[in-house]
């Protein structure tokens, strides 16, 4: 508590202060788990002045899965749609963002271990995430059959895993077109960021804060804490209180 008082006196911005507190929470959790402390005394400590991040338009996990299962691969260009199915799976089950998708290479898919290694960046940590059994089958087909066809059709030589159909190597247009199709499946869908947000909230409920931080690749636990919802009903009440029609 003396250290916290010192931080308060150092005139740090509330958000920076909250980050320091988040790191302390991790350390105190470790001490508690190793039986060096009876409890985490700062577990519920938060800094006043940090604006509450109200999250809305959350998709339930069943809705996320429906985006995956309802996406048809038997219409349009087959190789593009099978690639898109891979992308949707990575969005829904591994919580990847567009930057993660762009950076993936073939070697990041470890079929024999049933996992994917998501490369780290300046803003995110490297992490290993399990693949679903049905994803393994789809990845086998994609890596061995679909991707080589895309390479041949586009005359590309690259280790990049997910490839656009065309001369570009960037996935921006691919994701943009895919988002339009997902909107047709679920009118509540807005963009791929909404999927990641919904997945992170699901992870927090199912796995807790530290595991969710690892899966998301967040460098700082405060980044993951922004997605915490103590009570979904109270969150809905907050949103309703600020609704312009009230």
112 half-sphere exposure, CB direction, 13 A CA radius:
1
From 1.10.443.10, 1.10.8.100, 1.10.472.50, 1.10.569.10, which CATH number describes the 61-195 domain? 1.10.443.10
Q: How far is CA 99 from CA 42, 120, 175, in A?
A: 34, 10, 11
Over the stretch 79-92, which tens digit does the pLDDT of each residue have?
999 999 999 999 99
Q: Band of the pLDDT at 194, cuts 50, 70, 90?
A: very high
Spatial CA neighbour of 222 closest among 1, 3, 24, 7: 24
| Mean pLDDT score of the chain | 87
Please state, for a pLDDT cut of 70, what percent of the chain lies above it. 79
**Cα distances (Å, whole numbers) of residue 74 to 7, 19, 83, 157, 215:** 59, 47, 12, 27, 32
In this prediction, residue 24 carries a pLDDT of: 74
Quickly state the pLDDT bin for 76 (edges 50, 70, 90). confident
DSSP notation for 68-87: HHH--SSSS-HHHHHHHHHH
Q: What is the residue extent of each domain of the chain?
A: 1-51, 61-195
Q: What is the pTM of this model?
A: 0.75
Q: What backbone torsions phi and psi does residue 10 show, to the nearest 5 degrees?
A: -85, 0
**Angle at alpha carbon of residue 52, lines to 11 and 43, rounded to 5°:** 70
């Amino acid at each position: 508590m003396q250290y916290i008082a010192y931080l308060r006196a150092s005139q740090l911005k509330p958000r920076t202060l909250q980050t320091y507190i988040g790191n302390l929470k991790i350390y105190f959790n470790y001490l508690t788990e190793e039986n060096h402390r009876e409890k985490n005394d700062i577990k519920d400590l938060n800094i006043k002045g940090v604006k509450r991040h109200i999250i809305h338009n959350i998709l339930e996990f069943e809705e996320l899965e429906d985006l995956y299962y309802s996406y048809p691969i038997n219409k349009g260009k087959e190789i593009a749609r099978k690639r898109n199915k891979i992308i949707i799976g990575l969005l829904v089950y591994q919580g990847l963002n567009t930057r993660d998708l762009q950076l993936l290479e073939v070697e990041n898919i470890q079929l024999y271990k049933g996992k994917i290694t998501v490369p780290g960046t300046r803003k995110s940590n490297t992490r290993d995430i399990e693949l679903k059994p049905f994803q393994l089958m789809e990845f086998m087909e994609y890596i061995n059959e679909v991707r080589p066809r895309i390479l041949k059709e586009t005359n590309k030589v690259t280790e990049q895993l997910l490839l656009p159909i065309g001369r570009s190597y960037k996935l921006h247009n691919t994701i943009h077109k895919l988002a339009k199709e997902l909107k047709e499946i679920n009118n509540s869908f807005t963009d791929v960021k909404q999927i990641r947000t919904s997945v992170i909230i699901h992870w927090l409920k199912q796995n807790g804060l530290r595991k969710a931080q690892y899966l998301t690749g967040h460098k700082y636990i405060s980044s993951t804490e922004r997605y915490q919802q103590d009570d979904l009903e109270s969150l809905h009440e907050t949103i309703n209180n600020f609704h312009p029609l009230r």
